[in-house]
Amino acid sequence: MSQGGEGASAKDVSAVANAVTAPDAPQTDVKTAVANKDKAAQLQELYMRMQGFKMPSAPENKDHKFWSTQPVPQLSSEASGKIDEEVVIGPLDDTKTVDQVRQEPYGLPASYEWCVIDVKNEVELKEAYTLLTENYVEDDDNMFRFDYSPEFLRWALCSPGYFKEWHVGVRQSNNKKLRAMITGIPVTSNAMGKSLKMAEINFLCIHKKLRSKRLAPVLIKEVTRRVNLKDQWQAVYTAGVLLPRPVGVARYWHRSLNPKKLISVGFSRIQERMTMARTIKLYSVPSEPKIQGIREMVKSDAKQVQALLAEYLKQHKVFIEFDVEEVEHWFTPRKDVIYSYVVEKDGKVTDFCSFYNLPSTVIGHPQYNHLKAAYCFYNVANTVPLKDLMNDALIFANREKFDVFNALDIMQNATFLKELKFGIGDGNLHYYFYNFQMPTIKPNEIGIVLL
């Protein structure tokens, strides 16, 4: 992620891949993607987009003019016969210094100005929440919307060591209303044994009425500039579309917890030769966890949980290096945000599981207005089978009234998905590094979950 000149910027922050590959297009409008499909297909496709499954609007072999100018591995390297064994692991761009970074913010259209969004300020947090709620993701019939809660946003953006100036906003000059935003947080990733300070970029959102102004590239360039000013030059991100060039590819799986509701809102359907009663019975879970000594995590568990995570994650070729303070932040339970559980035996924490809450709003349904989705986060099974640990996670999620439990097939997750009645989703989730190349890896070699 270098900012040495006008031509080198923004590549790292393409968590919103559609905005980068087609800056003129509405970044979060899914009308094209879901046109002429029935309601169930629309919601399933919207749901994939909300998890990072942004559906490509053109064939994936199209030219990537933007990406061809950036320090990322190119798809053409595969076509020309270059194989993973030939990849030189490390940065692609020449080393830069902060002195070489542009000092002034990028220009905005007339009547708009940059701002910093203070998410610890209730008024500004509500502004960000409202912008996202009304403009981030919706389907063509305006029936389903992604719904980040203010509490989730504060959790996602106020990680230890975060930089306030990486929470970038655009206001309308005459009335100071927030019209666009993009955010970043610092993370430490490990790729092929190399520890790297990186930026994780999220929440690129532009008001519907401003999408003709081509603000997305400017937002991306500006947050890149601010990241570079902190002497950070690389990033990790995910996208549903194929860009130059993924380090790995994963797939989401979905486990129904409330099949009657999911069928009613159109998320899923009753299978052939099945009745509603049989479907409900099929996806029922016990009322009590099975593992002896499993309990909700508390803050004082953080040191032991950090040790468990560090030992487990280093088995993967890419992973996040969490310190104790970060474990406290990301995993200490917060109501309606993050749920974490540990197995304790004789005062020692031996196993750990976690999931977070990322719901969507159902608009105009006569009975339901909310779809509560749990997302598998990080899990470590040392003394119990992972399947048993995740079965208890499903029980806890069901207790908390979640409707569906989602998991990627990364880490060791593939070992429990089918047995615990998860169904495979459509589309792929691609993992990318900016300004860092390495061989392509398998899903079970990926140890990173991005919100």
C-alpha closest to that of 19 among 237, 318, 246, 252: 237
Active site residues: 451
pLDDT confidence of residue 232: 93
Q: Which residue type does 189 have?
A: S
pLDDT confidence of residue 16: 33
For 448, list phi and psi in degrees, rounded to 5.
-130, 130
Q: Is the backbone of residue 404 left (phi > 0), alpha (psi -120 to 50) or beta?
A: beta
The Cα 163–Cα 414 span in angstroms is 36
Residue 59 reports pLDDT greater than 60: no
Residue 2 reports pLDDT greater than 50: no
Residue 24 reports pLDDT greater than 50: no
pLDDT confidence of residue 224: 86
Mean of pLDDT values over 106-114: 95
Mean of pLDDT values over 188-207: 93
**Tens digit of pLDDT for each residue in 128-185?**
999 998 887 654 455 567 788 999 999 999 999 999 999 999 999 999 999 999 999 9
Which tokens is 350 given?
């031996």
Mean of pLDDT values over 224-242: 88
Which tokens is 268 given?
């899923």
Model confidence band, residue 77 (pLDDT cutoffs 50, 70, 90): low
Model confidence band, residue 84 (pLDDT cutoffs 50, 70, 90): low
Least confident span in 190-199, 261-270, 367-376: 261-270
Q: Kindly state the greatest CA–CA separation across the chain.
A: 67
Model confidence band, residue 226 (pLDDT cutoffs 50, 70, 90): very high
Contact 442, 371 (CB under 8 A): no
The Cα 40–Cα 395 span in angstroms is 26
pLDDT confidence of residue 363: 79
Mean of pLDDT values over 368-397: 97
Model confidence band, residue 288 (pLDDT cutoffs 50, 70, 90): very high
The Cα 21–Cα 65 span in angstroms is 8
Contact 166, 208 (CB under 8 A): no
Model confidence band, residue 68 (pLDDT cutoffs 50, 70, 90): confident
Specify the higher pLDDT residue, 74 or 279. 279
Model confidence band, residue 5 (pLDDT cutoffs 50, 70, 90): very low
Helix (H), strand (E), coil (C) string for the chain: CCCCECCECCHHHCCCHHHHHCCCCCCCECHHHHCCCCHHHHHHHHHHHHCCCCCCCCCCCCCCCCHHHCCCCCCHHHHCCCCHHHCCCECCCCCCCHHHCCCCCCCCCCCEEEEECCCCCHHHHHHHHHHHHHHCCECCCCCEEECCCHHHHHHHHCCCCCCHHHEEEEEECCCCCEEEEEEEEEEEEEECCEEEEEEEEEEEEECHHHHHHCHHHHHHHHHHHHHHCCCCCEEEEEECCCCCCCCEEECEEEEECCHHHHHHHCCCCCCCCCCHHHHHHHCCCCCCCCCCCEEECCHHHHHHHHHHHHHHHCCCCEEECCCHHHHHHHHCCECCCEEEEEEEECCEEEEEEEEEECCEEECCCCCCCEECEEEECCCECCCCCHHHHHHHHHHHHHHCCCCEEEEECCCCHHHCCCCCCCEECCCCEEEEEECCECCCCCHHHEECCCC
Contact 151, 337 (CB under 8 A): yes
Which tokens is 341 given?
């559980």
What percentage of the chain exceeds 90 in pLDDT? 60
Mean of pLDDT values over 196-200: 94
Residue 11 reports pLDDT greater than 50: no
Contact 39, 131 (CB under 8 A): no
Residue 216 reports pLDDT greater than 90: no
CB-based burial label for 272 (10 Å; 0-12, 13-18, 19+): exposed
pLDDT confidence of residue 144: 63
pLDDT confidence of residue 391: 98
* Whole-structure pTM value: 0.85
Residue 114 reports pLDDT greater than 90: yes
Quote the mean pLDDT of the chain. 84
Model confidence band, residue 325 (pLDDT cutoffs 50, 70, 90): very high
Residue 124 reports pLDDT greater than 60: yes
Least confident span in 133-147, 185-199, 429-443: 133-147
pLDDT confidence of residue 296: 98
Residue 64 reports pLDDT greater than 50: yes
pLDDT confidence of residue 28: 39
Domains of the chain: 11-245 (3.40.630.30), 252-424 (3.40.630.170)
Specify the higher pLDDT residue, 66 or 337. 337
pLDDT confidence of residue 17: 35
Sign of the CA dihedral running 89, 377, 183, 57: positive
Q: Which of 36-40, 86-90, 167-171, 271-275 has the highest mean pLDDT?
A: 167-171
Q: How many CB atoms lie within 10 A of CB 60?
A: 10
Q: Is the backbone of residue 216 left (phi > 0), alpha (psi -120 to 50) or beta?
A: alpha
C-alpha closest to that of 48 among 160, 143, 137: 137
Contact 257, 402 (CB under 8 A): yes
What is the b/e burial string over 255-266, where b = at least 16 CB atoms within 10 angstroms of the residue's CB?
A: bbbbbebbbbbb
